Amino acid sequence: VWDADSGNLDCRLMGHIGVVSSVAVCPTNSELLATGGEDHTVRLWDLRDIEPSSQLARMSREKVTGVNLAHFTLKGHE
């Protein structure tokens, strides 16, 4: 993840095997990302705690070419 203002590398997200083909930033919290890769996985990341994420989905035959990230809340009204 690169800092857009300074151009410096802020952190590396380690978890995918191979090319990451898609990234989506949460529209209400820029600390949350979803990534999809040619390793057939989708991963969720919290930039405040950049341990390797859990694997959310594994496609059986196709590489992931697009991800979307939607805001949600457990309270249902925020």
List pLDDT tens digits, range 31-45: 888 888 888 888 888
Average per-residue pLDDT in the chain?
Answer: 77
| Comparison of pLDDT for 72 and 12, the residue scoring more | 12
42 Rama class: left (phi>0) / alpha (psi -120 to 50) / beta: beta
| pTM, rounded to two decimals | 0.70
Does residue 29 register a pLDDT over 90? Answer: no
User: Both tokens of residue 12?
Assistant: 């590396």
User: What is d(CA 19, CA 51) in angstroms, rounded to the nearest whole number?
Assistant: 19
Q: What six digits make up the tokens of 41?
A: 């996985």
